[in-house]
């Protein structure tokens, strides 16, 4: 009898356990269903807000860009607005354009890849990788003190070469590098080494020289092998001298949009002036990449997902090293080849912009939302000196930069977080 009672008690316990398990599973299922449904509606709400802001912006303000905003899986907002050329041809979505200084994150990641391969160390001094003859025979004292880390964080103090050194596309790459190094070696450092941020394109030109020296291949092939091919970035390349010449000569029949200066005039139809340059800039590691919004979103998604760098290298790249004055209206910091901007107490933007004659670019991503974006333009604002006092830059009609569009869309996306 006792055995029977024990057996019945045991069976009851099993039945109660199964009933409890079934009840818990049903509750878990309902909770999971609720969370998925809630996420879906939240996502739909975010996308709707982004579309509404885009529509209002495009209807009321100037924009001449191609753009993409995306999440971890798919595009949320893509488009093109404006002219390819004044002949009436319009920009197409995912148009290829030069990205100028938005090249710098690729260069920084390239250096970190080489460190992962134990081919260099970011604490090495730059004199280790630059032959004395490149400096014109005399290596400046600071080349023995400045490290690769200082170049990556714009804390070297090395003088700016851009706009001061006129380079000829008929020159060899070695001649270009020599001319830049010999120019900056004759200039004093602008800040104490490693003490604060001072932006200089020269830092990244030198990093490009180091990559080519260590990797034993030119930048175009290095970027292709390490980044463009593995990430299937089919519309991205490092410009050759001939491509750079075609782009800068601003020929309408080119594969690339004609570049324009735009001058605000208190309306949403600014004045367009084709860009003319006194000299042709040579593509270097500070700004030589050509890309599309789609490919740039691929790049930043892969960077964030750990598909480009190791966790250690990614942390090095995204550490806040110095306050970066003058980069954004909000407080920003420099990482390795990127900037980190606190949008508010919850959201961090990891990004880089680019600007050159008739070129604007902005690309990056927002954490913790994992919102990726890329915006490219064939226009650049230019206000004649005599007109500056007449232009009210608080007037939205006169805010012609792509960062205003970027901030409007991102603001809509993170509004309720």
The SS3 of residue 239 is coil
Which overall architecture, per CATH, does domain 49-413 show?
A: 3-Layer(aba) Sandwich (3.40)
Measure the CA–CA gap between 349 and 335, rounded to whole angstroms.
12
Tens-place pLDDT, residues 186-242? 999 999 999 999 999 999 999 999 999 999 999 999 999 999 999 999 999 999 888
Which pLDDT score, from 0 to 100, does residue 32 have? Answer: 42
Which pLDDT score, from 0 to 100, does residue 19 have? Answer: 58
Domain ranges of the chain: 49-413
Give me the residues paired with residue 334 across strands. Answer: 322, 339
Q: Tokens 């060899």 — which residue?
A: 172
Which pLDDT score, from 0 to 100, does residue 242 have? Answer: 81
Tens-place pLDDT, residues 299-342? 999 999 999 999 999 999 999 999 999 899 899 999 999 999 99
Which pLDDT score, from 0 to 100, does residue 277 have? Answer: 74
The residues, any chain, with a CB within 8 Å of residue 393's CB and separated by 6 or more, are: 264, 399
CA nearest to 313, candidates 92, 144, 118: 118
Which pLDDT score, from 0 to 100, does residue 62 have? Answer: 94
Which pLDDT score, from 0 to 100, does residue 43 have? Answer: 58
CB atoms within 10 A of CB 368: 10
Cα→Cα distances 201→22, 161, 178, 204, 347, Å: 64, 7, 16, 6, 28
Give me the residues of the chain with pLDDT under 50, please: 1-7, 11, 15, 18, 23, 26, 28, 30-41
8 A C-beta contact, residue 129 and residue 209: yes
The SS3 of residue 9 is helix
Which pLDDT score, from 0 to 100, does residue 12 have? Answer: 56
Which pLDDT score, from 0 to 100, does residue 268 have? Answer: 84
Show the beta-strand stretches assigned E in 157-311. Answer: 237-238, 260-263, 271-274, 289-291
CA nearest to 175, candidates 147, 215, 136: 136
Which pLDDT score, from 0 to 100, does residue 172 have? Answer: 86
CB atoms within 10 A of CB 274: 13
CA nearest to 358, candidates 237, 240, 259, 291: 259
């Amino acid at each position: 009898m006792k055995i029977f009672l024990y057996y019945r008690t045991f069976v009851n316990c099993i039945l109660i356990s199964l009933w409890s398990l079934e009840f818990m599973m049903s509750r878990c299922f309902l909770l999971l269903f609720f969370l998925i449904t809630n996420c879906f509606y939240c996502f739909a709400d975010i996308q709707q807000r982004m579309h509404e802001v885009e529509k209002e912006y495009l209807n009321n303000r100037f924009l001449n860009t191609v753009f993409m905003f995306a999440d971890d899986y798919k595009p949320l907002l893509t488009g093109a607005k404006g002219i390819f050329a004044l002949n009436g041809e319009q920009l197409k979505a995912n148009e290829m354009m030069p990205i100028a200084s938005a090249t710098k994150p690729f260069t920084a990641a390239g250096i970190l890849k080489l460190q992962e391969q134990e081919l260099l160390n970011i604490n090495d001094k730059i004199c280790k990788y630059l032959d004395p003859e490149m400096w014109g025979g005399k290596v400046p004292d600071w080349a023995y003190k400045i490290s690769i880390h200082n170049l990556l964080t714009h804390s070297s103090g090395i003088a700016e070469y851009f706009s001061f050194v006129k380079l000829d596309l008929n020159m060899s790459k070695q001649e270009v590098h020599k001319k830049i190094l010999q120019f900056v070696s004759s200039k004093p450092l602008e800040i104490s080494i490693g003490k604060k941020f001072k932006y200089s394109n020269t830092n990244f030109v030198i990093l490009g020289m180091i990559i080519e020296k260590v990797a034993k291949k030119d930048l175009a092939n290095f970027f292709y092998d390490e980044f463009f091919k593995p990430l299937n970035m089919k519309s991205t390349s490092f410009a050759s001298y001939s491509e750079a010449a075609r782009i800068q000569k601003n020929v309408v029949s080119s594969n690339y949009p004609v570049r324009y200066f735009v001058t605000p005039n208190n309306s949403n139809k600014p004045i367009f002036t084709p860009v003319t340059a006194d000299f042709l800039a040579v593509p270097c590691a500070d700004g030589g990449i050509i890309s599309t919004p789609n490919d740039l979103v691929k790049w930043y998604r892969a960077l964030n997902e750990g598909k480009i760098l190791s966790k250690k290298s990614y942390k090095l790249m995204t550490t806040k090293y110095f306050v970066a004055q003058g980069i954004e209206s909000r407080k920003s910091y420099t990482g390795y080849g990127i900037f980190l901007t606190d949008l508010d107490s919850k959201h961090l933007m990891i990004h880089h912009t680019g600007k050159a004659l008739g070129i604007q670019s902005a690309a990056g991503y927002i954490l913790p939302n994992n919102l990726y974006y890329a915006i490219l333009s064939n226009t650049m604002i230019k206000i004649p000196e005599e007109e500056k006092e007449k232009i009210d830059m608080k007037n939205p009609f006169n805010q012609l930069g792509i960062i205003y569009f970027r901030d409007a869309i991102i603001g809509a996306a993170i509004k309720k977080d």
